[in-house]
Amino acid sequence: QVTLWLKKIYGNQPIPQYEVNARTVDILYELVECNEARDRDVSLLIEDMKQKATEYEAEASYIQGLLAESLDLSLSSLSSEGSSYLDVLVNSAMTLETKDTSLASFFGAINDMTSELYATESKNREMELELSNIKKKITAALMLEKRLEEDLKKTEELLEVEKAKADSRSQNLKFLKDKSKDLKIRIKAAEEELAATGLDRSLTHESLVSLSE
């Protein structure tokens, strides 16, 4: 069965060489079944389309005969203007998706389309209003973002200034601490030197201040 299918597929051309084993035969057999199933589906579809074409032709012949019998009209007897009007009528009916070309069907379809048009326009207005609100919110958000960026920049500049001041104060504090430490050392040295010369402790500045109090 696989060999017959390959011959059918390739026709007069030679079948390509392939390794014949259980796996390759199984795969080719599955392809045969899929191909045959597809061919059957296509054949059924073709037959259905032929049947519909026959039905449409029969219906068209019936309607043409009805027009010729009741109104003495045929496509060949219509003027170019009449054919044009008939085409417009048919196209309008197809566009409006009416079941026939009666005025009632046209009016019903036009009313439905008008209602749909009004609903669509109303929806468009709502969407435009919503879009306008979104644009306003976006504009406000962008302005707020710009102000925040400006505030952040000013804050960073202020922090730089304060940092410079803090560094300066830190340097001054270190200088004062070093100076204070140096003065204490010098004071202690001076006191020791004065004590070595026999200075009376009651004459020191601290003793005199206490005595004054």
Residue 126: its pLDDT value, please? 93
Does the model's pTM come out above 0.75? no
Amino acid at 111: N
65 vs 210, residue with greater confidence: 210
| Cα–Cα distance for residue pair 176/170, rounded to 1 Å | 10
Question: Whole-number mean pLDDT of the chain?
Answer: 84
Q: Output 42 or 194, whichever has higher pLDDT.
A: 42
Tell me, what DSSP letter sits at residue 101? S
**pLDDT at 45 (0 to 100):** 92
pLDDT at residue 183 greater than cutoff 70: yes
**How would residue 73 be classed by pLDDT, with cut points 50, 70 and 90?**
low
- What pLDDT shows up at residue 199? 65
Residue with the bigger pLDDT between 187 and 46: it is 46
Average confidence (pLDDT) over 201-212: 76
List C-alpha distances in Å: 161 to 171, 173, 179, 197: 15, 18, 27, 53
DSSP H helices, the chain, are 2-10, 22-70, 80-96, 103-196, 205-212
Tens digit of pLDDT for each residue in 87-109? Answer: 887 788 888 888 777 778 888 88
Handedness of CA 195, 198, 200, 203 (dihedral sign): negative
Q: Rounded distance, CA 196 to CA 192, Å?
A: 6
Q: What is the pLDDT of residue 118?
A: 93
* pLDDT class of 74 with cuts at 50, 70, 90: low
pLDDT surpassing 80 at residue 161: yes
Query: Which amino acid is present at 108?
Result: G
Q: Per-residue confidence at 157, pLDDT binned at 50, 70, 90?
A: very high
d(CA 18, CA 13): 15
pLDDT of residue 64: 73
Question: Structure tokens of 126?
Answer: 């709502």
Q: What is the mean pLDDT of residues 2-20?
A: 81
The per-residue pLDDT for 151 is 93
Q: Are 33 and 5 in contact (CB under 8 A)?
A: no
Per-residue pLDDT for 37 more than 80?
yes
Q: State both tokens at 192.
A: 């020791």
Q: Residue 160 has what pLDDT?
A: 92
Residue 200, pLDDT score: 67
- C-alpha 30/C-alpha 35 separation (Å) is 9
Residue 42: what pLDDT?
92
**Tokens (6 digits) for 139:** 């504009």
Residue 29 near residue 22, CB atoms below 8 Å: no
Please give the pLDDT value at position 207: 79
Ramachandran bin of 154, using left for φ above 0, alpha for ψ from -120 to 50, beta for the remaining angles: alpha
Q: Give the number of C-alpha atoms closer than 13 A to the C-alpha of residue 159, restricted to the C-beta side.
A: 6
Q: Is the dihedral of CA 186, 187, 192, 196 positive or negative?
A: positive
Q: What is the distance of C-alpha 194 from the center of its chain?
A: 90
